[in-house]
Structure 1
């Protein structure tokens, strides 16, 4: 994220001297994963500090939510890829699994159902800091797959990563956007079409540029 970092961000980067911000983050993540709403007053009470201290550590509830969701997102996307089933590239399988896992996650379900507009604003706009990191990670994964010969796309990597993230967002936040029930299989079909498997011998791979 641009600008001055918060104590939480410095703790996550391993550069903070005091553990308080990281304690707040870990507690918030546990509550999020349990499907509970992240309440700043409740966090402060459990940590034995006042609410102003928690805000000083993490910046705001929105920034804390972004860091919690990002930590879970990065962990999911960096997991061992699922076994190939012949229906697309390995990256298509990774991103399809990510959509399915996100929709099934207890904390994300509560967040989307009870705070859908907040989630959409925080996680899909560049100003929130989450989306640029997601685009960057997807680009990194696409570049690695292209270099390994497991992905052949005519779309430049920057455009490909942005498009893939927009596809993911469209299906994860489908209920908030259109009122329809989210369906990971629909996202998988689109991702498989955008991410073909290895190119035939001799076929160029312009996505590497």
Structure 2
């Protein structure tokens, strides 16, 4: 094990955390510290908090799924492509077993990380969505705000059970999403 003065590279911690999450569908900081061959204190100094690290892991998963969805959809040339990308992304996210398992086991932590600034996943999602809007040719000074609303509506569908709404389908939200794309 490294000494207490060990400095962990962020990419090493994130890669290790993502692998750990993939194997366990959770993030046990004691186990992760052992897997990284560092003390728990060193791990916390490197990441700040479990929520922050979970947010980074969720962000990594989201970015990979989003990239896969973009590859399936192809160029984003208009509002119809934005919706197609959203459908593809939700389909891939629904198949992300580890994330679904974590949400069922730790709904309060998942909600805190996904829906608040604790995990910073939302800010990344809004930034990516605004970029998709630009690619689709959407214009306006309110593009970031529309991206925020779009992401929140999509999150409401994806994470309906965490929000106490029971299962929802994207088709339920599509009229609101289309209104943001006009």
Q: TM-score range by the shorter chain?
A: 0.7 to 0.9
Equivalent residue in structure 1 for 2:162, among 176, 191, 195: 176
Equivalent residue in structure 1 for 2:104, among 103, 113, 118: 113
What residue number does 1:162 align with?
Answer: 148
Equivalent residue in structure 1 for 2:58, among 69, 72, 78: 69
**Distance of 2:120 and 2:109 partners within structure 1:** 14
TM-score by length of structure 2 reads 0.79
> Aligned pair 1:55/2:41, yes or no?
no
Q: Which has the higher helix share?
A: 2
Query: Is this contact kept in 2: 1:138–1:161, CA < 8 A?
Result: yes
Query: Is this contact kept in 2: 1:35–1:110, CA < 8 A?
Result: no
* Structure 1 unmatched runs, 5+: 1-17, 197-209
Query: Is this contact kept in 2: 1:66–1:129, CA < 8 A?
Result: yes
TM-aligned CA deviation for residue 182 of structure 1: 4.7
> Aligned pair 1:25/2:14, yes or no?
yes
TM-aligned CA deviation for residue 76 of structure 1: 2.4
**Distance of 2:47 and 2:36 partners within structure 1:** 13
The 3 A distance-change label for structure 1 pair 29 and 182 is farther
Query: Is this contact kept in 1: 2:154–2:170, CA < 8 A?
Result: no
> Aligned pair 1:143/2:129, yes or no?
no
What residue number does 1:122 align with?
Answer: 113
TM-aligned CA deviation for residue 191 of structure 1: 3.5
- How many residues are aligned here? 172
What residue number does 1:104 align with?
Answer: 95
Q: Which moved more, 1:124-133 or 1:65-74?
A: 124-133
Structure possessing the higher radius of gyration over alpha carbons: 1
* Structure 2 unmatched runs, 5+: 1-6
Task: Tell me the SS of whatever aligns to 1:176.
Answer: coil
Query: Is this contact kept in 1: 2:55–2:118, CA < 8 A?
Result: no
Query: Is this contact kept in 1: 2:25–2:99, CA < 8 A?
Result: no
TM-aligned CA deviation for residue 24 of structure 1: 2.4
